[in-house]
């Protein structure tokens, strides 16, 4: 009896955890106020997130079938005083391509879409595309965009 009650409760808790965990994967902080560990630094020793940014990509892995393409949304999240352009580049594994291969996030236009294409010969399985954001000044930051390449049927 206890097991029958416990199993649905654990399933519900797992679902709630995934729901509240968010739907994005986020990079460490970059920009002038970020240190080498991706933490915000302030002049008085306090954390100051105002002059930093992060890159957000979908959480989990995006499925792309061999020979097909998938549109994926990415964004730059800015601290209140960070107004620099951020050049976002993509480094896919062999067998994948990203269009465009570079995107510039300008203040007020921080959301973009890329198209990931898997070649007919792309290796089936999980891989990552390294997404790097580089500001005009300050520290760059990166996050992995997870891709699951599925076999063409």
- Residues 41-72 pLDDT 10s: 554 344 457 889 999 999 999 999 999 999 99
Chain centre to alpha carbon of residue 147: 11
Q: Is 111 helix (H, G, I), strand (E, B) or coil?
A: strand
Of 56, 46, 18, 52, nearest in space to 33 by CA: 52
pLDDT of 25 above 90: no
- Enter the tokens of residue 44: 């008085």
Q: Does the pTM exceed 0.85?
A: no
CB 120 within 8 A of CB 81: no
Return the CATH class of domain 23-150: mainly beta
The pLDDT value recorded for residue 8 is 44
Of 103, 75, 72, nearest in space to 90 by CA: 103
Q: Is the peptide bond before 142 cis (omega within 30 degrees of 0)?
A: no
- Enter the tokens of residue 10: 């654990």
């Amino acid at each position: 009896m206890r097991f029958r009650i416990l199993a649905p409760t654990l399933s519900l808790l797992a679902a709630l955890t995934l729901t509240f965990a968010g739907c994005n994967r986020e990079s460490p902080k970059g920009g002038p106020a970020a240190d080498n560990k991706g933490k915000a630094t302030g002049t008085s020793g306090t954390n100051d997130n105002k002059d930093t940014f992060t890159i957000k990509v979908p959480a989990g892995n995006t499925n792309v079938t061999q020979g097909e393409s998938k549109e994926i949304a990415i964004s730059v999240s800015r601290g209140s005083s960070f107004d620099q352009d951020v050049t976002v580049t993509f480094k896919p594994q062999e067998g994948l391509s990203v269009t465009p291969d570079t995107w510039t996030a300008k203040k007020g236009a921080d959301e973009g879409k890329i198209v990931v294409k898997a070649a007919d010969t792309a290796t089936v399985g999980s891989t990552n595309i390294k997404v790097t954001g580089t500001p005009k000044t300050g520290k760059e930051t990166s996050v992995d965009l997870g891709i699951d390449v599925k076999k063409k049927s």
